[in-house]
């Protein structure tokens, strides 16, 4: 039997990896705690995001954290629940509890990204400023930020050719705002640069709404996806670290530690390795084999390790 296994999977390192993977899929209860979590609530955590200090990319640590199984994005304007992460397209979707939607209007201070945060607004994100003071908001006045000199609505608002404001005003709570529809200002952050800041106090607006998809029903604002879509980059060159994909394949979590921020692969058995978890899983479980003989798992280990000893 041993000979047959060797014929199928020849290099013994591959067999070792295979067996170690098999081990910790089979008996996860024997593992000690893994510092870096692979999930936060229902959200799967992968590089560059991490659950704890030392996990994920250090550039992201101060902005995204797992708090009581809820993934939260923090900026200088507040804390925002992460709704979902699209790892393929590198987009993180957040919600702002202070934001107005088709089902409610409420006051908000606005939203801003920290100037040095590793995020930018996704092109799909559209904001609408609501309830702005016609008397004092700089989006209407001639001495405002970007007015056209005629005292009319500023270039800041990209309303031309979009029926978005009329759709929003078809929502009952928004229609009760005591201001005409012409005061609704569409604000597209991608035109305004990465350090875009929507300071509603400065803009003299009471509330705003934001969304990133019409969900194929542009005329049905009830069904739009409200929230904010942000793009992220792994590094200046946006390269996914090769060492990290190898680590994640072995059920590890990538992190950085120490004064020099050296790469670590935090493994399911709690150990930190410099590469991946394939070897450490086999090694660690092998040591445990001789300690608790209480359950049948020990016997499986014993048999598996006997095969390994024969091979090596
Ligand atoms: C492994 O790394 C994590 C994250 O950097 C750290 O919190 C933990 O203490 C380390 N564990 C060990 C056993 O060194
Ligand atoms: C101001 O309004 C006039 C007439 O409505 C228009 O011709 C002109 O282009 C406007 N000025 C600016 C700077 O847009
Ligand atoms: C919103 O979408 C749901 C499911 O697709 C649909 O049943 C509902 O009619 C839509 N709402 C409106 C106002 O069309």
Token output for 254: 């990538």
- 209 and 285 within one domain: no
With CA atoms as reference, report the closest residue to 285 among 265, 300, 271, 301: 301
When pLDDT is averaged across residues 74-83 and rounded to a whole number, the result is 95
Beta-carbon count within 10 A of 260 CB: 7
Name which residue sits closest to atom 3 of ligand 2, judged by CA. 150
Name which residue sits closest to atom 8 of ligand 3, judged by CA. 223
Q: Is 201 a member of any domain?
A: yes
Q: How far apart are CA 174 and CA 104, in angstroms?
A: 7
Q: Is 135 a member of any domain?
A: yes
Q: How far is CA 9 from CA 53, 113, 226, in A?
A: 39, 51, 51
- Is the CB of 223 inside a 6 Å radius of any atom of ligand 3? yes
Say what the pLDDT of residue 147 is. Answer: 43
For the four alpha carbons of 96, 98, 100 and 104, in that order, the dihedral sign comes to positive
Q: How far is CA 61 from CA 64, 67, 119, 230, 246, in A?
A: 6, 12, 13, 16, 21
Q: Is 99 a member of any domain?
A: no
The model's pLDDT over 5-33, given as tens digits with 9 standing for 90+, comes to 445 545 555 666 655 655 555 544 445 68
Choose one of 103, 170, 222, 223 to mutate for the ligand 3 pocket test, by most ligand atoms within 8 angstroms of C-beta. Answer: 223
Distance 214 CA to ligand 3 centre (A): 12
- Is the CB of 151 inside a 6 Å radius of any atom of ligand 2? no
Q: How far apart are CA 35 and CA 263, in angstroms?
A: 15
Can you give the residue range of the structural domain that contains 206? Answer: 124-223
Q: What is the pTM of this model?
A: 0.74
- Is the CB of 148 inside a 6 Å radius of any atom of ligand 2? yes
Q: Is 94 a member of any domain?
A: no
Q: Is 157 a member of any domain?
A: yes
The model's pLDDT over 277-295, given as tens digits with 9 standing for 90+, comes to 987 655 555 554 444 443 4
Distance 305 CA to ligand 1 centre (A): 28
Q: Which residues lie below 8 Å from residue 47, measured CB to CB, with a gap of 6+?
A: 56, 57, 234, 240, 241, 244, 248, 254
Who wins on pLDDT, 179 or 77? 77
Ligand 1 atom nearest the C-alpha of 54 is 5
- 212 and 137 within one domain: yes
Q: How far apart are CA 145 and CA 105, in angstroms?
A: 26
């Amino acid at each position: 039997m041993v000979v047959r296994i060797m014929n199928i999977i020849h290099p013994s390192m591959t067999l070792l990896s295979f067996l170690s993977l098999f081990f910790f899929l089979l008996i996860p209860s024997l593992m000690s705690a893994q510092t870096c979590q692979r999930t936060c609530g229902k959200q799967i955590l992968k590089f560059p995001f991490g659950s704890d200090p030392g996990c994920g990319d250090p550039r992201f640590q101060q902005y995204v954290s797992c708090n009581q199984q809820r993934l939260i994005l923090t900026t200088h304007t507040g804390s925002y629940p992460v709704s979902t992460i699209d790892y393929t397209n590198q987009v993180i979707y957040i919600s702002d509890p202070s934001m107005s939607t088709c089902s409610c209007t409420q006051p908000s201070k606005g939203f801003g990204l920290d100037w040095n945060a590793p995020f930018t607004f996704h092109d799909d994100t559209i904001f609408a400023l609501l309830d702005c003071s016609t008397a004092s908001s700089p989006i209407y006045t001639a001495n405002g930020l970007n007015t056209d000199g005629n005292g009319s609505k500023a270039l800041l608002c990209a309303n031309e050719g979009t029926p978005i404001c009329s759709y929003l005003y078809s929502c009952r709570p928004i229609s009760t705002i005591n201001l005409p529809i012409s005061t609704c200002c569409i604000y597209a952050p991608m035109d305004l640069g990465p350090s875009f800041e929507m300071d509603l106090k400065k803009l003299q607006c009471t509330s705003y709404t934001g969304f990133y998809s019409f969900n194929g029903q542009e005329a049905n604002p009830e069904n739009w996806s409200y929230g904010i879509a942000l793009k992220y980059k792994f590094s200046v060159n946006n390269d996914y670290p090769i060492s990290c994909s190898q680590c994640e394949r072995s059920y590890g979590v990538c992190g950085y530690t120490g004064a020099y921020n050296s790469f670590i692969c935090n493994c399911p058995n709690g150990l930190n390795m410099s590469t991946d978890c394939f070897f450490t899983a086999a090694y660690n479980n092998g040591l445990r084999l001789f300690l608790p003989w209480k359950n049948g798992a020990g016997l499986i280990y014993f048999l598996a390790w006997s095969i390994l000893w024969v091979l090596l």
